[in-house]
Amino acid sequence: MLHTDSAREGYDSAESLNFNPNPFEDWVMQTFDELERKGPFDSGRPTWGFAIDLFFLTPETIKGVFTQVKEKGGQLITTHVSMFLGNVAQTLKLMDLLDDNVIIPHGGKIRSADAELIKAAGAHISSTPSTELQIAVG
């Protein structure tokens, strides 16, 4: 539910699609902190993860989010690759954030050079080809 709420909260109005001046509301990390404090769940089997696609934010903000997630025990950070987000693999590499905690879902638009960066960093790609063909991703 956080994922869909986050998308909706990012816009001021569905009519104009103006971005909210603060797309990364305080409640996001507060909710993450609250869930982390209540854990571990199910004998510690689930691992904490976090999804972020807000690469129009400053590098300092992105680095701060990655740091907070890892400090709270987040083991996986998911970020999408798309023509709208720019070259995420290179962006993460330049910010020294591309590592084995990163999962890139879909991955249909990854170029060979990006694949090499991902592989060298030990990052991961998650793909479901039949679903992605149905929704025309990649």
The CATH number of the domain holding residue 115 is: 3.20.20.140
The SS3 call for residue 78 is: strand
102 backbone φψ class: left, alpha, beta (φ>0; ψ -120 to 50): beta
- Measured in whole angstroms, the distance separating CA 22 from the mean position of its chain's CA atoms is 17
Q: How far apart are CA 62 and CA 50, in angstroms?
A: 12
Q: pTM for the full model?
A: 0.73
Tell me the average pLDDT of the chain: 78
Enclosing domain of residue 72: 2-134
Rounded average pLDDT over 95-123: 89
How many structural domains comprise the chain? 1
- Mean pLDDT confidence for 120-128: 90
